[in-house]
Amino acid sequence: MTLFEKLAGNFENLIAKGTLKLGDKMPSIRTVSKEYGVSKNTVIQAYLLLESRSCIVSRPQVGFFVCLKEDQRLPMPQASSPSINGAPGKEDGLIGKVFSNFVNKSITQMSLSVPDESFFPVARLNKCLQTATKTLAAGGTGYDDIQGNLRLRKNVSKWSFTWGGNLGADELVTTSGAMHAISLAFMALTKPGDRIGVESPVYFGILQLAKNMGLKVVELPTDPEFGVLPQDLEELIGEIDICLLVSNFNNPLGSCMPDENKKSVVELLTRYNVPLIEDDLYGDVYFGASRPKPCKAFDTEGMVLWCGSVSKTLAPGYRVGWMAPGKFIKSILKLKLFHSISSTTVTQEAIGLFLENDYYEKHLRQLRATLYSNSLHFIRAIADYFPKGTKISRPQGGFVLWVELDKKWDTGKLFDKVLSRGISIAPGRMFTLQSQFHNCLRLNYGLPWTDKLEQELKLLGQILKE
Amino acid sequence: MTLFEKLAGNFENLIAKGTLKLGDKMPSIRTVSKEYGVSKNTVIQAYLLLESRSCIVSRPQVGFFVCLKEDQRLPMPQASSPSINGAPGKEDGLIGKVFSNFVNKSITQMSLSVPDESFFPVARLNKCLQTATKTLAAGGTGYDDIQGNLRLRKNVSKWSFTWGGNLGADELVTTSGAMHAISLAFMALTKPGDRIGVESPVYFGILQLAKNMGLKVVELPTDPEFGVLPQDLEELIGEIDICLLVSNFNNPLGSCMPDENKKSVVELLTRYNVPLIEDDLYGDVYFGASRPKPCKAFDTEGMVLWCGSVSKTLAPGYRVGWMAPGKFIKSILKLKLFHSISSTTVTQEAIGLFLENDYYEKHLRQLRATLYSNSLHFIRAIADYFPKGTKISRPQGGFVLWVELDKKWDTGKLFDKVLSRGISIAPGRMFTLQSQFHNCLRLNYGLPWTDKLEQELKLLGQILKE
């Protein structure tokens, strides 16, 4: 046995005994080399061997993490199969119930779809806010340009190069978060009775907004790994007037459409003159080697309204978002003016400054590593504690997991049960307007990983086993 | 002749010669007493005599101002008489044209409806913003409560005592400015085809939003002094499903409904089950002895949706507004959540702190004095330079004036003419959807009063006389 094989065996033991747990970051090459008195090259060879055995996984620019052996993995849920003219499920007040506990700090909020505040670069943002009051005329008290803060638009434009985007600042409109962008897009493109195609399951806010505006929601079959498949969309193209996709790390599934699917989908929709609203607010939080492209990257005719924000990566409370509305920009600008005049000047400038100073990439690198590690911790804990037969999604980005329990479960009732134990989960039925997903739930793993959290997942598992 | 009569005669001379001009603040009682070697009492008697002769006017807590002698006054415009099923005027792109010059600093922006930035307490607001990042958890990066920042709501509630309001913090919802509040109210209360009664003329943003949402706008006859009269509204009550009034210092007229009219209007609307959206964002900028009550003060059934903001008094760029939506609060909260989740956390907290620390009253006292003085300067200059037959409104608050020119004028064309001379005005046709007010314009006197401004009003007059 060579030295590096011995070293690898050593680590494999530590993993087997649970000293190194799923999701833990492996010690750095330099540390191991020092500790074990071996060359760095030996450590690298050992790590590569462990990777080939699926014991650890490397994340570019971050390091190696303990990962799941294939045989330990829980299965993934099947692709969803909503009915096309599905009868709406009955109004159950679930969303109100979940949101009413939203600000309660004593509850572990696994139900929210935002990373914990402790992951945000608060000191740096405070500083940017302070600088913004100096760089702006009259401290930012004046109305902003209707199209939005120029520094922010310039930097979002620059940032779009990370996915090969080539957006000019004049193609972007700032908004008060991504939901505001979607709301503007709905107002610009739809009238009551129009049919909108969306993933199923999908973020409940989108469903509620569409329903509230009198749209007919067409839920599309959605794969937990690849999102909406082009062939499924093609089959249903006659049923929809407009489409909305969370193309990268869909909330709640974590699915990500492959590039070639995105291209096919944009071509298909363009051919049928169906505008695509793309909610890409999780795209920057990827676990792979590079940022997945949005559908917008394949948009040649201005049919894609690309929407983003910093609400999931920096500061939801700043209400800073944007959209590149393609050929619909004029109506979007008009609507923004009519409904709210302009966005908050000072927080837009602060985020513009944050992006301009390259703080964003550094922050994201850290955030991605933490979230990736957390996702593995959660998957391992669920595999350890939840009943057999549980299925979970495998998000390659974002911070939410989709869990499918045995058919007998009603997660609406489970919500009440676990809330009384200080844990909040998001029941599956929130993410559909039809009567489905009653045995599913969404968990937010964007929380600091602690023993308490592990114990709470254990408790969840115990309740499920009772 | 007594000493105080002599002194008064002295000042009357200075006014007649133009040394003291309309809108100028009279020297303080202490200064005059020192300068002329007379007792303070003598000065007071002299000032009271001048007031009885309509040469000066006292403003509580501020001082005395040179005012207009009755015989110098230009007449007021007549009450408007829009047609009830008025054919819409043709789309003329005026609003776009006026707004496209909005950020051009080299143009004198008499067309805007916001006081000049130099009137805002910028340093104090910066300080509050900085404090807000400390008083808020995680520097205000987190989502705000959906109903809105508690400190802000508590202080708006407290502030409502200035008009005898008795609003609890739990009756208030914060918004991103007053237009956002109106947009939420429209969404909650109307469907396309509904008929909405509004003043005529009225702020174009309200008209455009209503039109865009498919509402049928019913323009109501409006008196330039007293707004919509109860008897006029009663006559038309069958023609409207919902009503929106800018009860205090309507933009663009400056009209203010008397208390008894407000009471009658609320009773009338309640009797006919017509909700009233009240846009009260100018109410704090009064020139009289006390703040005029809003219609909300007479609302016993929760039928009035009272909307306000700090956009006209402190910081439009902060996008901080609020509403007390009466019995419609549940749908408003739902819509706020669906369309934008929450408002900007940190600017709401900053304004909450500003109000809490009693800075607001001090600031308003100064702002009111400046704006009142400016209104007199403008009225005097218009009387001096504009052609005979010009009519002007007499705002008792706010910062906009309504000017009616000879019938032959088209202020849409005048806009182009004066823009080339570096002045922007707001043509009357912007403030109606019908074909009327082509010979009217709105002027913003919320600009620092300077010789340049006087010369520009003179130039306007010359162009009108050509």
Min CA distance, B302 vs chain A (Å)? 23
The listed range with the strongest mean pLDDT (A365-374, B73-82, B273-282) is B273-282
Contact B140, A313 (CB under 8 A): no
For residue A320 the two structure tokens come to 């800073």
Q: Give Cα separations from B175 to A234, A276, A343, B63, B353 (angstroms).
A: 41, 29, 12, 36, 17
Q: Is the pLDDT of residue B128 over 70?
A: yes
β-sheet with A304-309: strand ranges across: A173-175, A321-324, A304-309, A276-279, A242-245, A195-199, A216-220
Is residue A153 located within the same domain as residue A273?
A: yes
- For the domain that residue A63 is a member of, what is the CATH number? 1.10.10.10
For residue A145 the two structure tokens come to 């340009």
Look at the block and give the residue holding tokens 């330039």: B224
Per CB-CB distance under 8 Å, the chain B contacts of A318 are 140-141, 344-346
- Please name which of A287, A284, A203 lies closest in space to residue A245, comparing C-alpha atoms: A203
Nearest CA in chain B to A314: B141
**For residue A344, what pLDDT is reported?**
97
Distance CA A30, CA B257 (A): 78
A328, A330, A332, A334: CA torsion to nearest 10: -160
Distance CA B160, CA B294 (A): 10
- Please name which of A401, A399, A405 lies closest in space to residue A461, comparing C-alpha atoms: A405
Nearest CA in chain A to B209: A338
The residue segments making up the domain with residue B38 are 3-71
Is residue A195 located within the same domain as residue A103?
A: no
**For residue B70, what pLDDT is reported?**
53
| pLDDT band, residue B466 (cuts 50/70/90) | confident
Min CA distance, B340 vs chain A (Å)? 5
Contact A244, A250 (CB under 8 A): no
Structural element, H or E, at residue A306: strand A304-309
Is residue A141 located within the same domain as residue A189?
A: yes
**For residue A88, what pLDDT is reported?**
74
- Give B11's contacts (C-beta < 8 A, 6+ positions apart): B20, B26, B46, B50, B55, B56
Per CB-CB distance under 8 Å, the chain B contacts of A311 are 143
SS3 assignment, position B290: coil
Contact A141 B318 (CB under 8 A): yes
**For residue A21, what pLDDT is reported?**
83
Per CB-CB distance under 8 Å, the chain A contacts of B136 are 317
> Where is the domain boundary, A304, A333, A360?
A360
The terminus-to-terminus CA distance of chain B in angstroms comes to 47
3-state secondary structure A34-60: HHHCCCHHHHHHHHHHHHHCCCEEEEC
Distance CA A168, CA A172 (A): 7
**For residue A327, what pLDDT is reported?**
98
For residue B231 the two structure tokens come to 């008897």
Is residue B254 located within the same domain as residue B139?
A: yes
Is residue A132 located within the same domain as residue A165?
A: yes
Contact B138 A122 (CB under 8 A): yes
Q: Is the pLDDT of residue B30 over 80?
A: yes
> Where is the domain boundary, B41, B71, B101?
B71
**For residue B100, what pLDDT is reported?**
79
Task: Please name the member of B142, B317, B335 whose beta carbon is closest to the beta carbon of A346.
Answer: B317
Q: Which contacts of A392-396 are long-range, i.e. CB under 8 A and separated by 24 or more positions?
A: A392/A74, A392/A76, A392/A77, A393/A76, A393/A77, A393/A224, A393/A225, A393/A253, A393/A254, A393/A255, A394/A76, A394/A224, A394/A225, A394/A254, A395/A249, A395/A253, A395/A254, A395/A287, A396/A249, A396/A254, A396/A256, A396/A286, A396/A287, A396/A288
Mean residue pLDDT of chain B comes to 93
Contact A346 B318 (CB under 8 A): yes
Distance CA A440, CA A410 (A): 8
Per CB-CB distance under 8 Å, the chain B contacts of A111 are none
B323 sits in the region (left: phi over 0; alpha: psi -120 to 50; else beta) called beta
Q: Is the pLDDT of residue B61 over 80?
A: no
**Cβ–Cβ contacts within 10 Å for residue B25, how many?**
17
Range with the poorest average pLDDT among A62-71, B49-58, B250-259: A62-71
- Give A48's contacts (C-beta < 8 A, 6+ positions apart): none
What's the whole-number mean pLDDT along residues B355-368?
Answer: 92
The terminus-to-terminus CA distance of chain A in angstroms comes to 48
* Residue-by-residue pLDDT tens, chain A, 466 positions: 899 999 999 998 888 888 888 888 899 999 999 999 999 999 999 999 998 888 898 887 778 999 866 546 688 999 999 988 777 777 778 888 887 777 778 899 999 889 999 999 999 999 999 999 999 999 999 999 899 999 999 999 999 988 988 899 999 999 999 999 999 999 999 999 999 999 999 999 999 999 999 999 999 999 999 999 999 999 999 999 999 999 999 999 999 999 999 999 999 999 999 999 999 999 999 988 789 999 999 999 999 999 999 999 999 999 999 999 999 999 999 999 999 889 999 999 999 999 999 899 999 999 998 998 899 889 889 988 999 999 999 899 999 999 999 999 999 999 999 999 999 999 999 999 999 999 999 999 999 999 999 999 999 999 999 8
Question: Complex ipTM, two decimals?
Answer: 0.89
Per CB-CB distance under 8 Å, the chain A contacts of B319 are 176, 340-345
Task: Please name the member of A129, A146, A342 whose beta carbon is closest to the beta carbon of B133.
Answer: A129
Per CB-CB distance under 8 Å, the chain B contacts of A176 are 176, 319, 340, 343-344
For residue B290 the two structure tokens come to 């006390």
Q: Is the pLDDT of residue B214 over 80?
A: yes
Contact A205 B338 (CB under 8 A): yes
Contact A129 B129 (CB under 8 A): yes
Is the previous residue joined to B252 through a cis bond, with omega within 30 degrees of 0? yes
- Amino acid code (one letter) for B151: R
Distance CA B315, CA B351 (A): 9
Cα A243 to its chain centre, rounded Å, is 19
Per CB-CB distance under 8 Å, the chain B contacts of A340 are 176-177, 179-180, 183, 319
Structural element, H or E, at residue A29: helix A29-36
**For residue B353, what pLDDT is reported?**
97
> Where is the domain boundary, A294, A329, A360?
A360
- Give A424's contacts (C-beta < 8 A, 6+ positions apart): A98, A101, A107, A108, A109, A110, A111, A112, A415, A418
Q: Is the pLDDT of residue B199 over 90?
A: yes
Task: Please name the member of B136, B142, B341 whose beta carbon is closest to the beta carbon of A179.
Answer: B341
- Give A25's contacts (C-beta < 8 A, 6+ positions apart): A62, A63, A64, A65, A369, A373
- For the domain that residue A281 is a member of, what is the CATH number? 3.40.640.10
The number of CA neighbours under 13 Å toward the Cβ of B402 is 34
For residue A22 the two structure tokens come to 């799923």
**For residue A72, what pLDDT is reported?**
63
Distance CA B430, CA B207 (A): 9
Per CB-CB distance under 8 Å, the chain B contacts of A139 are 122-123, 125-126, 129
Is residue B44 located within the same domain as residue B188?
A: no
Task: Please name the member of A141, A316, A342 whose beta carbon is closest to the beta carbon of B143.
Answer: A316
Strand (E) positions, B78-236? 108-109, 173-175, 195-199, 216-220
The number of CA neighbours under 13 Å toward the Cβ of A24 is 12
Per CB-CB distance under 8 Å, the chain B contacts of A117 are 137-138, 141-142
**Cβ–Cβ contacts within 10 Å for residue B51, how many?**
15
Task: Please name the member of B143, B335, B339 whose beta carbon is closest to the beta carbon of A114.
Answer: B143
- Amino acid code (one letter) for A167: L
Look at the block and give the residue holding tokens 């739902």: B334
Nearest CA in chain A to B176: A340
Task: Please name the member of B99, B123, B317 whose beta carbon is closest to the beta carbon of A345.
Answer: B317
Look at the block and give the residue holding tokens 């105080």: B4
Cα A289 to its chain centre, rounded Å, is 17
Nearest CA in chain B to A176: B340
- For the domain that residue A432 is a member of, what is the CATH number? 3.90.1150.10
Per CB-CB distance under 8 Å, the chain B contacts of A342 are 316-317, 319
**For residue A104, what pLDDT is reported?**
79
Q: Give Cα separations from A266 to A259, A300, A421, B150 (angstroms).
A: 11, 9, 46, 44
Is residue B327 located within the same domain as residue B412?
A: no
Nearest CA in chain B to A182: B339
Q: Which of A117, A126, A141, A444 should one mutate to test binding to chain B, selecting the residue with the greatest count of B CBs within 10 A?
A: A141
Residue B203 exposed, middle or buried by CB count within 10 Å (0-12, 13-18, 19+): buried
Is residue B401 located within the same domain as residue B346?
A: no
- Using one digit for the tens of pLDDT, what is the confidence trace for B318-346? 999 999 999 999 999 999 999 988 999 99
Contact B339 A145 (CB under 8 A): no
Domain count, chain A: 3
Q: In the 8-state DSSP scheme, what is residue A387?
A: P
Is residue A88 located within the same domain as residue A139?
A: no
Contact A205 B316 (CB under 8 A): no
**For residue B72, what pLDDT is reported?**
63
Min CA distance, B281 vs chain A (Å)? 14
Is residue B85 located within the same domain as residue B65?
A: no
The number of CA neighbours under 13 Å toward the Cβ of A108 is 24
Nearest CA in chain B to A205: B338
Is residue A330 located within the same domain as residue A423?
A: no
Is residue B106 located within the same domain as residue B29?
A: no
Is the previous residue joined to A230 through a cis bond, with omega within 30 degrees of 0? no
Distance CA A239, CA A48 (A): 49
Nearest CA in chain A to B319: A344
Min CA distance, A4 vs chain B (Å)? 45
**For residue A258, what pLDDT is reported?**
96
